[in-house]
Amino acid sequence: MRGPNQKGLMELSERKRSEYLDLRHRYEPRRAKLVVIAESPPASGLYFFDPTGSPREPLFAALMKQLRLSPTSKEEGLREFQRNGWVLVDATYEPVNELTPDAVDRN
């Protein structure tokens, strides 16, 4: 793990905003019935719309439970999420869960 960058964010898994959006767009429903707003992707790199992740990731598992689904893969769960008309949107695409105290004070 590297130290904080200029904005006070920990650089664990650096993804660009466009990469996050590309992943999300693959699984957006044609017509949204429910929009879930999250604060940001976590610094750990466990992004909700990354189909290579585990279906046991905390946020993903919690939302699958709400849909009464038990997918065997993240891809399967994301397709069901899409079919149900649900979409998750992050308020920002810079992880905020590991901001340094100085960065929190500035914001």
Which residue stretches of 1-107 are H helix? 17-26, 58-66, 74-83, 101-106
Neighbours of 95 (CB within 10 A): 23
Q: Give the C-alpha separation, 7 to 52, whole Å.
A: 29
Q: Give the C-alpha separation, 24 to 57, whole Å.
A: 16
Mean pLDDT, the chain, rounded, equals: 85
Domains of the chain, by residue range, sit at 17-106
More confident site: 45 or 26: 26
pTM above 0.85, yes or no: no
pLDDT at 60 over 90: yes
Backbone phi and psi for residue 10, each to the nearest 5 degrees, phi listed first: -80, 130
